[in-house]
Structure 1
Amino acid sequence: MLNRGYSSSDTPVESIWFYSEMERRGINPNKLTFPFLLKACASFLGLTAGRQIQVEVLKHGFDSDVYVGNNLIHLYGSCKKTYDARKMFDEMTDRNFVSWNSIMTALVENGLAQYGFVEEALQLFAKMMKESTVRPKYVTFLGVLCACSHTALVDDGYKYFHEMEKAHKIKPMIIHYRAMVDILGRACRLNEAYDFI
């Protein structure tokens, strides 16, 4: 539990020290140990430490744990290693809602500099809807709308915004309205953006 506390503290690097201390004392990690270590690495952008933790994950046989996988995707996305995040996602045998959202977020956030990543996030959303039992939530649609904003897909943005409530019964929040205004603003459709509010 100390590991969990350190990973969310102002000094997340302490969780790495704590893990080293556990090893030194011969205390075996469990499946809850590694997600918190990876979360800590992501928070201080500790890519090297994260890769070392991934080696420990493999060594202890937790590489197929969905929570470990999700945190590796988050780590690589936070450290702008989008290809590594996507590779981790593709290799996961079990995916949940967090898995899909983590990879889409990594692609959108890192795709701001490269158009292809944002487009890939939208393709993954379509794949999730078609091939997965995972259903989108409000945060999923936020990522999709951000992707539409950065690729000037105004019509798609409208479609996803309306689909959110009509098809998925998710009431848009202020943040979704902001995303739609951003989509319209970037497309220089300021009157529509004003009317949308």
Structure 2
Amino acid sequence: MYKKKKMEHLRKNLQYLLDSRGETRVSLCEQTNLNRTTIYNILEDRVQNVHSSTIQKISNFFGISYSEIESTDIAEKERLDGTISYEGNMNPCAVPLFMQSECITSEFLVSKIGSLMVGRQLTYYFGTGPNIVAVLLEDDLSGKHNSGDLLIIRRGNYTSNNPKLCFDPKLQQFHIKESNRESLDNWIIIGDIMEERFGYGKNGLIT
């Protein structure tokens, strides 16, 4: 069973590596001096054993370790390595953290993100982009968000379909507007909401 599983990995990985690296069976054979029949038999699942020297030549050609090509789903590994999420292996980016009440301060509105990264507490964001900050809510908003929830915000006013965190200076209140069609005259647009993390501040993550 173990040997069969290794053969399945070898066959699947070989096909994936050929497709993803823009190589062909012919180019592989020409550059490794492997017999074409051997490669065809592996890909068409016609053999139960492959000589170790053959596997070594294949792995060397693609820059993959011998053990990896026999024991790892390389397509899935590379997918996860390129995924920015809880399930992925791509490092999330760090973003500066603000309290809700700080969102109308000059530090929040005009400071460069680079300088904020040095002096403020940080959290993570599974994404990329400029002007990304985190805002910890201190009040319940819009019937959906509660004190302690964390919003990842793209700071500034953008034409988009994303909900926006806004501030009404007349009433001194924060609001979340779901539609870009809603009138925001005389309001301060804090930014687009890119991600929501419910209950963040209630988990002992803020000091």
Q: Which bracket does the TM-score occupy, shorter chain normalised?
A: under 0.3
More strand by share: 2
Q: Whose Rg is larger?
A: 2
Give me the TM-score of the superposition, normalised by structure 1.
0.23
TM-score of the superposition, structure 2-length normalised?
0.22
Greater helix proportion: 1
